[in-house]
Every structure is written in structure tokens, then in C-alpha cells.
Amino acid sequence: MSLRAAGPAWLFCPADRPERFAKAAAAGRRW
């Protein structure tokens, strides 16, 4: 899954996986 496609996903479902949220947040800063 690309971060672009899962971008809004982790924003709306951060409680689904805290680890994914942290990774997405860190990657979001780079992207």
C-alpha cells in the first residue's frame, strides 16, 4: 500500500494500529 492511498486512512483510523499511525506520521513529514 502506498502512503498516498493510505494517507486519509490512517488519519481517520489511527486507533486501528498505533504503529501504523506513528509510521505514517513520520513518513508524512518526509513526504
Domain boundaries, the chain: 1-31
Q: Is the pLDDT of residue 27 over 70?
A: yes
Residue 16 banded pLDDT, cuts 50, 70, 90: low
CB neighbours (10 Å) of residue 24?
Answer: 19
Instruction: Return the percentage of the chain with pLDDT > 90, whole number.
Output: 0
Residue 28 banded pLDDT, cuts 50, 70, 90: confident
Q: Is the pLDDT of residue 19 over 70?
A: yes
Q: Pinpoint the alpha helices (H) of 1-31.
A: 3-12, 18-30
Residue 3 banded pLDDT, cuts 50, 70, 90: very low
* Average pLDDT of the segment spanning 2-31: 62
